[in-house]
Structure 1
Amino acid sequence: MTSISHSHSNATVELQYQGLLEKLMVSTLSTVPSCVFLYVNGTMLFSLRSKPVFCGTPRYVLLYNLLFADTVQLALSQVMYILAVCRVKLLYPVCGFLILLTHLTSGMSPLTLVLMSLERYVAVCYPLRHTTIITIRNTAVAITAVWAVSSLNNLTRLLLSFPFQKLGILQVKDLCSNIAVMLGSVSREYDEAFTCVVFVSAGVAITSSYISVAAAARSASADKTSARKARNTLLLHLVQLGLSLSSTIYNPLLIALSRTVTRIVIVRIQNVFYVCFVILPRCLSSLIYGLRDQRIRPVLIYHLCCRLRLVKGSSQRPS
């Protein structure tokens, strides 16, 4: 997960080798999609708080938590990117806060996907007990636990390697990045171990849920339609997990490519990877659930169109 915050600033460290026109074009091509997806995610978050049915349904509450973390992560990514492009140097406390917040939100997605997968597993395999197991209270406790785990991970990394002796220094010497505020290899090794454990555990949990749901769908008493939708949702969770994992291989892949191509080519590849591995994964949740879910879709479209619904024959507000 250190690769995310590190890559945002490093993505433009070598931009001085490019011409001004190319720099502006590349920055625009990266910033415009990010702003569009931030608008979509923000609208989705507003939509999930606009109806009591969304606020009182555990799976929508979990979706809100996932979207919130992804939206904050996307906003932080773009802020770090713009700061790197403009060569802005921050104070150590400010830079450290941005890095810690980036790590906090980046760890939320895989953990929240596990909760969402378990909710679908209980809904299909234990339909009669679903309403007693998956309650709003239990969901709130699970979300609190996820935030606590991510916060504890952040605190551990902070205690392991943050250069507290540099807090007296007003300004970071280089661009704000993970390397600029962290010292030694202890933090990197710890973060790699934590990331490995989280993603392996999440992959096992989602895959096991999918297998259980697929097995339950074959039974005569199962709701075939519900089981099929749950199975498809779990497959999407696996795709989302893979996209989240792709950000962790961002730096190793660029390092490998840097041995065979020039700096200018690497800078251009970095910007493409930034859009594909950082921006895109954090907008898919809105697109996936917003367009697939029959309850969310009309509300999302309604708000995206600024309350001007273009529907043939009528323009009734969605219920």
Structure 2
Amino acid sequence: MTLERYVAICMPLQHSEMCSTRRSLHCILIIHSLSSVPTIVVLLIFFASASLSFYKEYKVCSVEMFIFHSWQDHLRSAISQFYFLIMCIIIVFSYVKIMKVAKAASGENKKSTWKGLRTVILHGFQLLLCLIQLFNPFIEGAVLKIDFMLYINVRYFNYITFILAPRCLSPLIYGLRDEKFFNALKYFVLCGLDKNLQP
């Protein structure tokens, strides 16, 4: 998402060529392949290490259930931190370049610059929420050792805050910019009490 925005704003003439459907499909396949490697390794080690009696036990369904060796946990942690670092570098690089281009394009128009800055801040916040999602399994694993009900509540909170919210943020914000959508949302939030608003 960040790189696509970088190409669209900083290289607008090459955007249609670089972000074609075929290239996007290749990028999605590469991303899914790289992100599935740690999971496949954990599952292969699990199937090689688990005894038959393990399959008859009642367990909480979580990733920690599949980890038998401490080095697996360390490896999983290192991979998540590596992904986090790489994504942070890409996001910071892209948005610094985008801000430079946006500032140069708007010139002295402060209103346009502020509007662009708000959009970039929104996208940055959205991506920050997505990045924090990488650390959720470690937080949930630590909480599971303390209390099961707390674990369920933390897991539910993490799902709403770091998985659902980032994906809903952009459509909601862009929808709020549309006057008709904003008025309809305001009407329903106020339960129709404001008679000046129409849904």
Report the TM-score, using the length of structure 2 for normalisation: 0.71
User: Does structure 2 retain, via aligned residues, the 8 Å contact 1:160–1:186?
Assistant: no
2:126 matched to 1:237?
A: yes
Q: Which runs of 5+ in 2 are unaligned?
A: 189-196
2:28 maps to what in 1? 143
Cα displacement (A) at 1:150 = 1.9
Separation in structure 2 between the aligned mates of residue 185 and residue 201 of structure 1, nearest angstrom: 25
Separation in structure 1 between the aligned mates of residue 87 and residue 169 of structure 2, nearest angstrom: 19
2:172 maps to what in 1? 291
Task: For 1:1-319, list aligned pairs within 5 A.
Answer: 116-164=1-49, 166-167=51-52, 170-220=55-105, 224=112, 227-228=116-117, 231-251=120-140, 254=143, 258=146, 266-267=147-148, 269-294=150-175, 312=198
Q: Residue 150 and residue 128 in structure 1: after superposition, are their counterparts in 2 closer, same or farther (change >3 A)?
A: same
Q: Residue 173 and residue 163 in structure 1: after superposition, are their counterparts in 2 closer, same or farther (change >3 A)?
A: farther
Report the TM-score, using the length of structure 1 for normalisation: 0.47
Q: Residue 167 and residue 181 in structure 1: after superposition, are their counterparts in 2 closer, same or farther (change >3 A)?
A: farther
Letter in 2 for 1:202: M
Cα displacement (A) at 1:199 = 0.8
Superposed CA deviations along residues 266-318 of structure 1, whole A, max 9, x for unmatched, are: 45543442232233322113421221235xx86xx9xxx9xxxxx938xxxxx
Cα displacement (A) at 1:177 = 3.5
Separation in structure 2 between the aligned mates of residue 130 and residue 230 of structure 1, nearest angstrom: 20
Letter in 2 for 1:239: L
Separation in structure 2 between the aligned mates of residue 159 and residue 253 of structure 1, nearest angstrom: 24
Letter in 2 for 1:193: A
Separation in structure 1 between the aligned mates of residue 55 and residue 69 of structure 2, nearest angstrom: 21
Larger radius of gyration: 2
Q: State the aligned residue count.
A: 181
SS at match of 2:104: coil
Superposed CA deviations along residues 236-292 of structure 1, whole A, max 9, x for unmatched, are: 333323431451441476389x5xxxxxxx455434422322333221134212212
Superposed CA deviations along residues 139-180 of structure 1, whole A, max 9, x for unmatched, are: 111111111112222222233444455257652353443343
Cα RMSD (Å) of the superposition?
A: 3.6
Higher helix share: 2
Q: Residue 195 and residue 174 in structure 1: after superposition, are their counterparts in 2 closer, same or farther (change >3 A)?
A: same
User: Does structure 1 retain, via aligned residues, the 8 Å contact 2:133–2:162?
Assistant: yes
Separation in structure 2 between the aligned mates of residue 206 and residue 227 of structure 1, nearest angstrom: 16
User: Does structure 2 retain, via aligned residues, the 8 Å contact 1:217–1:227?
Assistant: yes
Cα displacement (A) at 1:214 = 1.2
Separation in structure 2 between the aligned mates of residue 272 and residue 169 of structure 1, nearest angstrom: 27
Separation in structure 2 between the aligned mates of residue 285 and residue 251 of structure 1, nearest angstrom: 19
Cα displacement (A) at 1:120 = 0.8
Separation in structure 1 between the aligned mates of residue 142 and residue 68 of structure 2, nearest angstrom: 23
Which deviates more, 201-210 or 219-228?
Answer: 219-228
Separation in structure 1 between the aligned mates of residue 15 and residue 76 of structure 2, nearest angstrom: 35
Identical aligned residues as a percent: 20
2:194 maps to what in 1? none
Q: Residue 180 and residue 238 in structure 1: after superposition, are their counterparts in 2 closer, same or farther (change >3 A)?
A: closer
Q: Which runs of 5+ in 1 are unaligned?
A: 1-115, 259-265, 306-310, 314-319
Superposed CA deviations along residues 181-237 of structure 1, whole A, max 9, x for unmatched, are: 331112211111111111111111111111111111221478957844652343133
User: Does structure 2 retain, via aligned residues, the 8 Å contact 1:163–1:181?
Assistant: no
Separation in structure 1 between the aligned mates of residue 13 and residue 69 of structure 2, nearest angstrom: 53
User: Does structure 2 retain, via aligned residues, the 8 Å contact 1:124–1:227?
Assistant: no
Separation in structure 1 between the aligned mates of residue 99 and residue 141 of structure 2, nearest angstrom: 36
